[in-house]
């Protein structure tokens, strides 16, 4: 579980490892997946745990081993926490990282295998404090966070952290070709992104 240090009467996370970064959150989102923790579908939440896996912000502190980012950089932070060097990360299967979930044994008992560590997603997936907060500790910060060009607003890039790739992947799995007719069940945010991605894959406007 991520520990926090307190400074000037305000609890905020601190650097625990040279590959950490601390991000000051400028935008964060709630997600339908958060409901899985609230309704107990995904167990092992504890009092005081912080949800949130769709967030972005400004780098305010960096561990000594993170050389590709600097303080003041604006970044989006992906849902999955990935080490960058295990078999799965090396084959770009980031969500299966073997090194970022310290509680992988618990997840294996529940699901038969473990995913990567995830921000704000119960102790089954590492017990990492999530992004519905003022500050977040981001492990393996040299791998996950992506720098955002200045001209793009938070609203233009925030959804890249989880929900847009989720809808995009659904369309990708369908191997859509130009002219195909596509049905999408469920028109929440992920469905909307799946529809947009399907149009994009088909090369035709609505």
> Under the rule (CB under 5 A), what is the footprint of Zn ion?
31, 33, 83, 86, 89, 97, 99, 162
- Nearest approach, Cβ of residue 87 and Zn ion (Å): 8
- Least distance to Zn ion, CB of residue 135, Å: 20
Q: Cβ 125 to Zn ion, closest distance in Å?
A: 13
Q: Which is nearer to Zn ion, 89 or 129 (CB)?
A: 89
Nearer to Zn ion, 157 or 176 (CB): 157
Residue closer to Zn ion, measured from CB, 38 or 71 = 38
Nearer to Zn ion, 23 or 100 (CB): 100
The residue whose Cβ lies closest to Zn ion is 31
Q: How many whole angstroms separate alpha carbon 124 and alpha carbon 104?
A: 7
Taking the complex as a whole, the smallest distance from the CB of residue 167 to Zn ion amounts, in Å, to: 11
CB of 97 to Zn ion, least distance (A): 3
What is the C-alpha separation between 93 and 172, in angstroms, rounded? 15
Assigned token pair, 32: 């339908």
| Smaller CB separation from Zn ion, 96 or 176 | 96
Least distance in angstroms from the C-beta of 67 to Zn ion = 19
β-sheet with 146-147: strand ranges across: 135-138, 21-28, 55-62, 74-77, 146-147
Whichever of 115 and 176 has its CB closer to Zn ion, that residue is 115
Burial of 105 (0-12, 13-18, 19+ CB in 10 A): exposed
């Amino acid at each position: 579980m991520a520990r926090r240090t307190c400074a000037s009467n305000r609890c905020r996370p601190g650097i625990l490892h040279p590959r950490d970064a601390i991000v000051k959150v400028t935008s964060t989102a709630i997600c339908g997946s958060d409901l899985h923790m609230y309704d107990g579908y995904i167990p092992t939440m504890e009092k005081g745990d912080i949800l949130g896996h769709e967030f972005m912000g400004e780098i305010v502190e960096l561990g000594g081993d993170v050389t590709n980012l600097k303080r003041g950089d604006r970044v989006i932070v992906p849902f999955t926490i990935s080490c960058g060097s295990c078999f799965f990360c090396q084959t770009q299967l980031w969500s299966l990282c073997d090194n970022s979930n310290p509680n992988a044994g618990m997840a294996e008992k529940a699901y038969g295998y473990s995913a990567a560590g995830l921000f704000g997603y119960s102790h089954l997936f590492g017990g990492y404090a999530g992004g519905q907060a003022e500050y977040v500790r981001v492990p393996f910060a040299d791998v996950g966070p992506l720098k955002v060009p200045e001209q793009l607003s938070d609203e233009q890039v925030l959804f890249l952290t989880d929900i847009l790739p989720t809808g995009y992947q659904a369309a990708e799995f369908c191997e859509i070709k130009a002219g195909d007719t596509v049905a999408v069940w469920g028109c929440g945010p992920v469905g909307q992104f799946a529809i947009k991605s399907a149009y994009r894959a088909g090369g035709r406007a609505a």
